[in-house]
Structure 1
Amino acid sequence: MIEQSQIERWLREDLGHHDVTNDVPGETAGRLVAKESGVIAGIDAAEAVFEYFGVDVIERVDAGQRIEAGDVVLRVEGPAADVLRGERVAVNIAGHASGIATKTRRAVDAARAVSDSVDIAGTRKTTPGLRSVEKRAIVAGGGDTHRLDLSHMVMVKDNHVVEMGMEEAVARFRERASFATKIEVEVERPEDAADAARAGADIVLLDNMAPSEVERAVETLPEDTLVEASGGITIADVPDYAATGVDVISMGCLTHSAPTLDYSFRTGAE
């Protein structure tokens, strides 16, 4: 669900205070056309932008579907001025989200070539103000959102360990967190993984380790401990990490480095 206040922020940024460019009379039809293949996402946000102006959305493709160059993914009808005012924001959001979904699907496919059980997850390395759009795009691509914000899970990172020590940090956060909140502990050496589990971690994050190190760390952990690998992992790296026995591979590049999927918005007759 896209909040109206968010749509208004997007539109204020694009339209400014005196939009003459889109002062076009009459009614028109418009269509959002893919210029390359990929996985669609952000279409709900694009639809919400047009609906904000009272433009009718008469057809749309569901998020998560694969699309090819030339496919029409959204059709609208309404006053020409309003169709054109919504065009750029809708194209930008859909293109950005679809790029994330497409990259996520590539990562998921790379993992599935090796393992049917490992999950591909995002991170909190999202664009300020666009996290909800980007996280939904990851889901559209077949990935897992990971924690949506700091309230969803406690993550004990290196800075916490420096300040308090691993055992004290886990104990402190366990005391303050809800019974339903999981605690994840980040480690950077294979030999520290078992210590994290003994300290009470529900999830052990193996950060910035080579696949061989990850595999060695996994072998030291109890079977009921969830294991995540992260840290600069690219799509090319995914098969090697998927073969290590981890449960989750988290990738910041899904959001911070995904290229925009190219769309064109066209009005008038096809």
Structure 2
Amino acid sequence: MNFLQVPQSIIEENVFNALKEDIGEGDITAELIPRENISLATVISREDCIFCGLDWFEETLRQIDTEILIDWSVDDGDEIKADQIICTISGSSQNIVSAERTALNFIQTLSATATLSHRYAKAVADTNTKVLDTRKTIPGLRMAQKYAVTCGGCSNHRIGLFDAFLIKENHIIACDGINNAVQDARFHNPDLKVEIEVENMDELQQAIDAGADRVLLDNFDIASLKQAVEICKGKIITEASGNITINTIHDVAKTGVDFISTGALTKDIKAIDLSMRFD
């Protein structure tokens, strides 16, 4: 599985903003620690998970203190067990405690995203369907969470509103129909893929006739999905979406759709329980 490549500039910006809101004008509690104190700290996971966020963790410590050393025991995408050591850290006691919360926040959130994505990927592993994320991400962490999705074994939908067309109900109404919307998209950005959201078989046929690249089958029941897949076979790529959960995703995948998209991967997460201890 290839992980999404995140530009270093985005990681640096994520970390800068996180430290700015946490430390502000200075960590007044860390200043109680003698400046010359050096500590060794260990980060462990309290629960099983898929680890993710190494680059964000490292960048957090780097922006605080370039002399802090990190010795990693895991890498992004690794399955780790409860009480397993993730890494050890050595350096200024003051600076380690200042970086601690922000560094842990990144890996607990991204590991949670990767772990949930892994569950969804496993649920459809016996099918040819790929699970996609959506734009329902934590504000400011779009690329970070989409990276975590790939660490968990799922795939990315479009990154934002700029890299692919997803023409939904309101777009269709405002453009006066599916055909007009598709033709306008082709005219303005002929190199980009065009996907149409449809809610019934009539709209599905319109999307096929208009020459869309992909159709999003919104809230279709299982019987309707099977029918739609047969209609679309060899004509257009299919994607199912709408209220799909970990309990229903396998049945949806068995209909033969090419993709299933769900916002759950990035919005229904529970932070992984991690801790940092001074030795």
**How many Å separate the matches in 2 of 1:178 and 1:63?**
36
The partner residue of 2:19 within 11, 33, 38 is: 11
The partner residue of 1:176 within 159, 184, 188 is: 188
Task: Determine if contact 1:227/1:248 at 8 Å carries over to the other structure.
Answer: yes
Task: Determine if contact 1:28/1:77 at 8 Å carries over to the other structure.
Answer: yes
**How many Å separate the matches in 2 of 1:224 and 1:36?**
45
The partner residue of 1:90 within 103, 109, 114 is: 103
Task: Determine if contact 1:226/1:247 at 8 Å carries over to the other structure.
Answer: yes
Task: Determine if contact 2:14/2:141 at 8 Å carries over to the other structure.
Answer: no
Residue 201 (structure 1) aligns with: 212
Question: Shift of residue 149 of structure 1?
Answer: 1.3
Residue 148 (structure 2) aligns with: 137
More divergent stretch after superposition (190-199 vs 259-268) = 190-199
**How many Å separate the matches in 1 of 2:205 and 2:183?**
16
2:75 corresponds to which letter in structure 1?
Answer: D
**How many Å separate the matches in 1 of 2:154 and 2:243?**
17
Residue deviations 1:210-240 (CA, integer Å, cap 9, x gap): 2222111111114142111111211111111
**How many Å separate the matches in 2 of 1:66 and 1:138?**
14
The alignment yields a C-alpha RMSD, in angstroms, of: 1.3
**How many Å separate the matches in 2 of 1:80 and 1:31?**
13
The partner residue of 1:112 within 106, 125, 128 is: 125
Residue deviations 1:156-180 (CA, integer Å, cap 9, x gap): 111111111100000001101142x
Residue 45 (structure 1) aligns with: 56
**How many Å separate the matches in 2 of 1:119 and 1:156?**
21
Residue 231 (structure 1) aligns with: 242
**How many Å separate the matches in 2 of 1:258 and 1:157?**
26
1:74 to 2:82 alignment? no
Residue deviations 1:86-115 (CA, integer Å, cap 9, x gap): 1101111111111111111000100114x0
Question: Shift of residue 258 of structure 1?
Answer: 1.1
Question: Shift of residue 83 of structure 1?
Answer: 0.8
SS of the aligned residue for 2:134 comes to coil
TM-score, with normalisation over the residues of structure 2? 0.91
Residue deviations 1:102-137 (CA, integer Å, cap 9, x gap): 111000100114x0x210110001111011110010
Instruction: Name the % identity.
Output: 33
TM-score, with normalisation over the residues of structure 1? 0.94
Question: Shift of residue 58 of structure 1?
Answer: 2.1
SS of the aligned residue for 2:252 comes to helix
Tell me, which stretches of 5 or more residues in structure 1 are unaligned? none
Task: Determine if contact 1:87/1:265 at 8 Å carries over to the other structure.
Answer: yes
Task: Determine if contact 2:116/2:269 at 8 Å carries over to the other structure.
Answer: yes
The partner residue of 2:139 within 123, 128, 132 is: 128
Task: Determine if contact 1:211/1:244 at 8 Å carries over to the other structure.
Answer: yes
SS of the aligned residue for 1:219 comes to helix
Tell me, which stretches of 5 or more residues in structure 2 are unaligned? 1-7
2:179 corresponds to which letter in structure 1?
Answer: E
